[in-house]
Amino acid sequence: MKKIELFIFYLPMFVLLNACVEVNSLIDLTPPSAGSLDQLIMDSTFASSPIPAAQMKNVLIEDFTGDKCDNCPFAQTKGIDIEVANPDRVSVVGIQCTSLDVPYLTTFDLRTPHGDDLLGLEGVPVGLPQGDVDRKIYSGNSNSLMSDYNWAGYVSTELGLPTIANINQVSKSYDPSSRIFSMLMNVTFTQSSTDTFHISTALTESGMIGPQETPNGVDQTFQFEHVLRKMMSPWNGLQIAASPVGGKTCQVKFNTVLDSKWVADSCRVVTFVHRCGTKNDVEQVMETTLK
């Protein structure tokens, strides 16, 4: 009888305790390898008083491209033209991510681990080149992707909109010997919002020479511009605020180690604050050099 009671008592206990065991593979606990010592840390939050005036809104273009896409060089040129026409107001990030990016040369692969994730966030492309402006889904579109000839118009619209998030660089440093780049930024919300905001940081490099398909055949000496080398944040950003109130300031710092093949003088950091959830709209963008 005692054994039956023990069995009745302990069996459910064992099952219950065992049922509490969870599987969660989302967390990366592996020590970072050299060249990937990225850290993006939400350092602190505080209230700014008085609430600062809103900055002028800058705009992000994400250009999904590939070296086997013969029209993609035109999109790269279009992005550069828009940047030049709006100095310090527009940042372009070229993302190599689809089957059209299978490299011609195994030694020249511009794909990144999160390129496909970023494209998945925006939608399914109807072929390349495609891109988004501030990750917004504009009226009449089913997703945020659009052809490059539409970018200039939407960029013009976005530049005239107000923003509720100011991004200010507090400090930055680059150590050529260790190749470690560090930056401290403040994001200040100038108005309250019920949305959730993330911050993303992308490292881009320009000036690499390699093969690229064009309408006239493969150009072996094509110059690639503002190519995404890596996301230094999680690919969809780090959450910095949910329902922020006006004046909330989030101080974010990050470190990254540059790959030995990347030219520091040709690298830039594009930081942007964006919503996360049903909308992914970019609220503000800041671009800076490493030095």
Sign of CA dihedral 99, 101, 104, 106: negative
One of 26, 34, 53, 84 touching another protein (CB under 8 A): 26
Regarding 234 and contact with another protein (CB under 8 A), the answer is yes
Asked if 176 and 198 count as a contact pair (C-beta separation under 8 A), the reply is no
Choices 74-82, 142-150, 191-199, 205-213; region in contact with another protein by CB under 8 A = 191-199
Using the rule CB under 8 A, give the single segment among 89-97, 111-119, 170-178, 241-249 that binds another protein.
241-249
CB of 234 to another protein, least distance (A): 5
Distance CA 72, CA 79 (A): 11
Instruction: Tell me how long the chain is.
Output: 291
Of 98 and 188, the one with the shorter C-beta distance to another protein is 188
Q: Work out which of 46, 77, 149, 263 binds another protein, going by CB under 8 A.
A: 46
Residues 36-53: b if buried by 16+ CB within 10 A, e if exposed: eebebeeeeeeeeeebbe
Q: Phi/psi class of residue 137: alpha, beta or left (left: φ > 0; alpha: ψ in -120 to 50)?
A: beta
Out of 11, 41, 105, 126, the residue judged to bind another protein by CB under 8 A: 41
Q: Give whichever of 226 and 248 is closer to another protein, judged by the CB atom.
A: 248
Q: List Cα–Cα distances, 164 to 52, 65, 247, in angstroms.
A: 10, 31, 10
- Per CB under 8 A, does 47 bind another protein? yes
20 lines the binding site for another protein (CB under 8 A): yes
Q: Does 45 bind another protein (CB under 8 A)?
A: yes
DSSP for residue 265: G
List beta partners, residue 255. 39, 182
Residue 35 binds another protein (CB under 8 A): no
Rule CB under 8 A: is residue 28 a binding residue for another protein?
Answer: yes
Output the smallest distance, CB 39 to another protein, in A: 6
Between 21 and 84, name the residue whose CB sits nearer to another protein: 21
Instruction: Establish if 22 lies at the interface with another protein (CB under 8 A).
Output: yes
User: Does 192 engage in binding with another protein (CB under 8 A)?
Assistant: yes
* Contact region with another protein (CB under 8 A), list: 82-90, 108-116, 148-156, 234-242: 234-242
CA proximity to 91, closest of 290, 291, 223, 284:
284
Are 260 and 179 in contact by the 8 Å Cβ rule? The answer is yes
Buried b (16+ CB within 10 A) or exposed e, 263-285: eeebbbbbbbbbbbeeebebbbb
Q: Which stretch binds another protein (CB under 8 A): 17-25, 73-81, 148-156, 216-224?
A: 17-25
Contact criterion met (CB below 8 Å) for 215 and 71 = yes
Rank residues 198 and 226 by Cβ distance to another protein and give the closer one.
198
Q: Which residues bind another protein (CB under 8 A)?
A: 20, 22, 24, 26-29, 31-32, 39-47, 49, 192, 194, 196, 198, 233-234, 236-239, 242-243, 245-246, 276
